[in-house]
Structure 1
Amino acid sequence: MDVIISLFISGKEGEILNAVTLDILRYLFENKYSNQREIAAFTGLSLGKVNSILKLLEKSGYITGSYEPTDLTKELIKESKPTRAIILAAGFGTRMIPINFETPKALLEVHGEPLIERLIKQLHEVGVDKITIVIGFQKEKFEYLIDQYGVDLSVNADYVVKNNLSSLAKVIDSVSNTYIVPADLWCEQNPFSPIELYSWYMVSDRLDKNSDVSATKRHELVKVARKNDGNRMLGIAYITGSEAVTVRDRVLELAENTDYDSAFWEEALYKDGKMILAANLVRDDSVIEINTYEQLRELDSDSTNLRSKSLHLIAEIFGTSENKITGIKMLKKGMTNKSFRFVVNHDEYIMRIPGEGTDKLINRRQEAKVLNAIQGSGFCDDPIYLDPDSGYKVSRFIPDVRCCDPCKESDIRKCMTLLKKFHYRRFTVDHTFDIYGQIEFYESLWVKDHSAFSDYQMTKNNVWKLKDFIDSQPKDFCLTHIDAVPDNFLFSGRGDEETLQLTDWEYSGMQDPHVDIAMFCIYSLYSKEQADHLIDIYFDSRCEPAVRAKIYCYIAACGLLWSNWCEFKQEMGVEFGEYSLRQYRYAKDFYRFAVNAIQQIPTEAETFDE
């Protein structure tokens, strides 16, 4: 017999039962035997193969001579019976733009029924009542399921920075005779069964360039070369027997390795170029994965979740219907906003939606005044629509766009040239960006009454000591970008036709333009040497010592500013990883650099002597 999976069941004669054999055994248990042709049609095997398997099952004591299942079969069915399920529902669902801003994917309604409720009901139908749902994004919206369906909830707080391998690791101890199910599937027919005889992973009969595995005739799932298509991976699996032990150990091992933070849980299933689970091959239309707004619209055009505020607004702006809005794609999630791309009348646009807590951080009316002041100047792409109350904005999509590479010399020089041109225009508005005032403001937004950093008060006191020096220095106030970071310098076009613009003017206001240099440095995570090099580029190597010292002060102050901002956003469920730590570090390190630089500034007498 062919060995297909790592679950081996030895018969009386030491023979090995594999997935195909066990499928036939299950067929005989669920259906009264008629003839071998029926079994061949069910399995896709030849009559000769079916005949040899039936002889093996009889010889091994699993069926009688009249093809009736024996007590040995009944014991096997009892031992491998499904008893529990884990539903993975923690993720943000980035491709489900713009619905995911309002509703977790698992709670999307198809034909009046939330996806996760349908899965729970289908599990209940086959006798699986012990269900654990791993949640994260908008976790509170799942709480009602405890009362309605008797499920358990487990929170994965790492869902923002890790993939679903970390979700499964939270509940891995319960994996035994267990279904593992992603929450974004809609199955017209129940994909679960009260009888499972071996471990499997579900794939469809459709080829997919994004799949890692291909189902063989022997029911194996083998790794495919990246250039080749595999069978579409559906994410549903059943795990029992020795595979349960292997999966538990492997998931915990990988979850402890930061290299796998972005990994899917399926990574734990591979060994020697194949999965340790057998293939459960199904028709492609039997299990539908809903990843995008348009997929939901195609499956159920009447779904209540299609009533999106942002799409309704787009339809109004362009005088069209919502079903004419196509090509919806998530763009890189920014630190302040969420944005998505869409097509109307064959033209592409971007909608910006303010992120969590943004209404407390940004005055949208001031942003509108800034954009009005610079309109037509060429420093930015003028918006098509901007609501000064909500902050919703629509602008044209610019193709072939890339951000500034803060490690690329030619990019840096072009960005500093544009920044100087902007500063020299001396635009004005009627509001100011107060760095020290904003430090206090962001601190006041914290729910907790103290910083996460144990030496915060000392660091803050040191930054405040720099204020007198900053205030004593001459400054030529003008409209300053404030958020002049590499990601907001956009190159478009190619070669000699490449153009450069600035975007994201939300924090802009009247301020010392040298603040923009400091902001570029701290977002780029520059060292002191790199910061000095940027200063030299901006000033053509003619920066006076007092001005350099002042920029060091700005780096320290702005580092604390954005550190406080990050602490507030983290309380809102937004995680920034290394960025927040480095910002706090700038407040401490550049305080020392600034103090040293201030002490080295020549006095007027020393300058005269020279």
Structure 2
Amino acid sequence: MNRQAYDILQCLYQEPFISQRLLAETSGHSLGTVNKCIKELIESGYIDDSVSMTQKAYLEFAQKAPRRAVILAAGFGMRMVPINTEMPKGLIEVNGEPLIERVIRQLHEVDINEIYVVVGFMKEKYEYLIDEFGVELIVNPEYATRNNLYSISLARNYLENAYVIPCDIWCDQNPFNKHELYSWYMVSDLVDNDSSIRVNRKMELVTVPDNSAGNAMIGICYLTKSDAAIVKKNVENLSKDHRYNESFWEEALYNKDRMIVSARVLHSSDVVEINTYEQLREIDSDANQLKTDAINVICNALHTVPNKITDITVLKKGMTNRSFLFTCNSEKYIMRIPGEGTDKLINRQQEAAVYSAIADKNICDDIAYIDPESGYKITKFINDARVCDPFDHDDVAKCMKKLRAFHELCLTVDHEFDIFGQLEFYESLWKGEPSIYKDYKKTKENVLSLKSYIDRHASKKVLTHIDAVPDNFLFCEKEGKEDIRLIDWEYAGMQDPHVDIAMFCIYALYNREQIDDLISAYFTEGCDDIIRIKIYCYIAVCGLLWSNWCEYKRNLGVDFGEYSLRQYRYAKEFYRIVCEELDSLNK
């Protein structure tokens, strides 16, 4: 049976047949289509000659009736900054009602009580739903590194005759029914440049070419038994392929250039996917979540009001913080919000002292506000800036020249970045848990043995950036000339400035040849073997330092993949290289 015939049958289930013209009006199909479908339904035995439903039709409804729902609520909701720093997106309120509660109530209205909620980020916030609404929570432990394709894989056994629903949807009218006869995926009639699909004349969902617009994807889907089996198989295959770690679950709906399910089109005013702070403000200007600490800080720091804060856009999530871009009074700014566990990692009073020491030195970005207590920071956005390309020789040479000029200012602050002390500190944050590396104890012992060489040959301590990595060198233009700014001074303190060289190398994941090239770019006059070996020592020590840091962050649910593994490798490999170099010098 085709989709149009199912639509006609659905209308006949809801209201007895009166006339084909009325049936055309209620179904949305033409009179000719209605006439054709009635003949097909009679021939296939779903209705009789009086256009009344048969037992076969009632059985069809019973077999395909919705029985359960899966709500996807595991993700960070990164585009919801700054709200997502305080509340998961599913609990955002519209007119005083959390989005996920509205969805659950609408499901209950059509007698769907078997509801699974896949949670991850701030999962504890959803725990009350178990008692209040009788839902079952499915925990996605990999929400930080994998998209909702993995979430749906955890619920793949519950997709038969099920609705799949994103948690950030607000529907004016209940989008669910007690009866469904075919699988569908919901889109709106709104044209969306970010959409990858459009509705064709057959009500199929087909892919659109790159740089073309499609129908806005709402994300609610219904799957019958047969289609659920196909999706389950697709999900199982795709979720095993790491190339799909960042993919949305809709990948499992495609067969070549189209989805295996039909389109269900709603008017854009009837359903809203709330992805951003400004979308929430537009739909409910009095929403409680609009009154976030971050927005209040911006208002106080820039002497403005909330509705003057516009164009809020999430920036790429950093290793330590979450940041977002916004416009206020025609000026662009970046606000930094400290990430998970950073209160244990970074002393914000010391950071503020560093910014005071480098003020007016034309070294860093322009600070509009910094709070030594919370760590909130507002900086002016640098237009048309780009980061250093660590594999571009000219970029690297310019950055090393800038870095050395900073070191030669010999600035001072009252605190030190103690590399060996921090190494022990990060390990202490594991709270007694052993390292994930089998040979950690021996590796640490080897690295600590390098301290005596470092102490003998350490340079005079000056204010050192510590995190002078390629991503923190910004190339921009000032007064018509190229300028380089060094940003993100969270870890800065008094230290041997050559530590910054080591940090650049290990973040860029350089091999030994590239490391030697970088050292030459910093020491244009040449670098003697004693200093070079000391930098190798720093590479080993700092590799273990950031490996320990990564292990702590991993315990918080944040995994840095290859970066973490490579840092540990630096600790082992450069300990060996130092030993070989020292043996060679002593011969």
What TM-score results when the alignment is normalised by the length of structure 2? 0.98
Distance 1:325 1:524 in 2: 36
Does 1:195 pair with 2:179? yes
Q: Which amino acid aligns with 1:168?
A: I
1:393, 1:231 → 2: CA distance? 38
How far off its partner does 1:474 sit?
Answer: 4.6
The 2-side partners of 1:121 and 1:306 are apart by 24
Indicate the residue corresponding to 1:22 in structure 2.
Answer: 6
The Cα of 1:422 is off from its aligned counterpart by: 0.5
Counterpart selection for 2:66 from 75, 79, 82? 82
Query: Which residue number corresponds to residue 377 of structure 1?
Result: 361
Amino acid of the structure 1 residue aligned with 2:25: A
Instruction: Verify the 8 A CA contact 2:183 2:262 in the aligned structure 1.
Output: yes
- Paired with 2:44 and 2:345, the residues of 1 have a C-alpha distance of 72
Does residue 145 of the first structure (1) align with residue 145 of the second (2)?
A: no
Q: Distance in 2 between matches of 1:96 and 1:115?
A: 14
Amino acid across the alignment from 2:533:
A
1:407 to 391, 408, 415: 391
Partner of 1:525: helix, strand, or coil? coil
Tell me whether 1:59 sits opposite 2:43 in the alignment.
Answer: yes
CA–CA distance in 1 between the matches of 2:338 and 2:211?
39
Structure 1 residue runs of 5 or longer lacking an equivalent are 1-16, 604-610
Partner of 2:425: 441
| Distance of 1:240 and 1:285 partners within structure 2 | 27
Is the partner of 2:108 in helix, strand or coil? helix
Q: Which residue of 1 aligns with 2:287?
A: 303
Work out which of the residue numbers 341, 347, 350 in structure 2 matches 1:363: 347
Whether the 8 Å CA contact 1:203–1:234 is kept in 2: the answer is yes
The counterpart of 2:101, out of the listed 117, 135, 141, is 117
Residue 340 (1) aligns with residue 324 (2) = yes
Partner of 1:325: 309
- Whether 1:234 and 2:218 are equivalent positions in the alignment is yes
Instruction: Report the Cα distance in structure 2 between the residues aligned to 1:62 and 1:171, rounded to whole angstroms.
Output: 34
1:211-290 to 2 correspondences below 5 Å: 211-290=195-274
Are residue 567 (structure 1) and residue 554 (structure 2) matched? Answer: no
- Report matched runs for 1:97-112 at 5 Å: 97-112=81-96
Cα shift readout 1:345-374 (whole Å, capped 9, x = no counterpart): 111111111111111111111111111111
Matched, 1:542 2:561: no
Matches of 1:547 and 1:512 in 2, distance apart?
A: 11
Offset from partner CA, 1:560-600 (integer Å, 9 cap, x none): 11111111122222221111111111110110011111222
* Amino acid across the alignment from 2:377: K
Whether contact under 8 Å (1:324, 1:344) holds in the other structure is yes
8 Å Cα contact 1:90/1:135 also seen in 2: yes
Aligned to 1:608: none
Partner SS state of residue 285, structure 1: coil
Quote the offset at 1:171 in angstroms: 1.1
Shift of 1:509: 1.0
Task: Report the Cα distance in structure 1 between the residues aligned to 2:431 and 2:29, rounded to whole angstroms.
Answer: 64
Deviation of 1:215 (Å): 1.0
Give the distance between the partners of 1:473 and 1:137, measured in 2 at CA. 46
Q: Which residue of 2 aligns with 1:8?
A: none
1:48 has 2:32 as partner: yes
Q: CA deviation at 1:317?
A: 1.4
| Residue of structure 2 in register with 1:465 after alignment | 449
Alpha-carbon distance, 1:526 to partner: 0.7
CA deviations over 1:119-153 (Å, ceiling 9, x no partner): 01111111111110001100111111000011010
Which of 127, 130, 149 is the aligned partner of 1:165? 149
* 2:22 equivalent in structure 1: 38
Q: Deviation at 1:494?
A: 9.3
Deviation at 1:449, TM superposition (A): 2.9
Q: Secondary structure at the match of 2:367?
A: coil
**Aligned partners of 2:507, 2:543: CA distance in 1, in Å?**
9
- 2:411 maps to a residue whose letter is F
Q: Match for 1:389: what amino acid?
A: E
Distance 1:581 1:275 in 2: 39
Partner of 1:453: 437
SS at match of 2:144: coil
Q: Aligned partners of 1:320, 1:496: CA distance in 2, in Å? A: 31
Counterpart pick for 1:504 among 488, 491, 497: 488
Runs of 4 or more, structure 1, over 6 Å off, are none
Deviations 1:186-208 (A, max 9, x none): 00100000000011111111121
Distance in 1 (CA, whole Å) between partners of 2:191 and 2:147 is 24
Partners of 1:272 and 1:293 in 2: CA distance: 35
Aligned residue number for residue 12 of structure 1: none
Aligned equivalents of 2:172, 2:445: Cα separation in 1: 63
What is residue 11 of structure 1 aligned with on the other side?
none
Mapping of residues 205-216 of structure 1, within 5 Å: 205-216=189-200
Contact 2:458 2:496 (C-alpha < 8 Å) held by counterparts: no
Segments of 5+ residues of structure 2 without an aligned counterpart are: none
Separation in 1 of the partners of 2:453 and 2:113? 68
* Mapped contact 1:198–1:241 kept (Cα < 8 A): no
Q: Which amino acid aligns with 1:486?
A: P
Q: How far did 1:43 drift?
A: 3.1
Q: For residue 7 of structure 1, what is the aligned residue in structure 2?
A: none
Amino acid at match of 1:329: T
- Classify 1:37/1:494 alpha carbon distance in 2 versus 1 (closer, same or farther; 3 Å): farther
1:395 corresponds to 2:366: no
In the aligned structure 1, how far is the partner of 2:115 from the partner of 2:534?
60
- Per the TM alignment, residue 496 of structure 1 is displaced from its structure 2 partner at its CA by 6.7
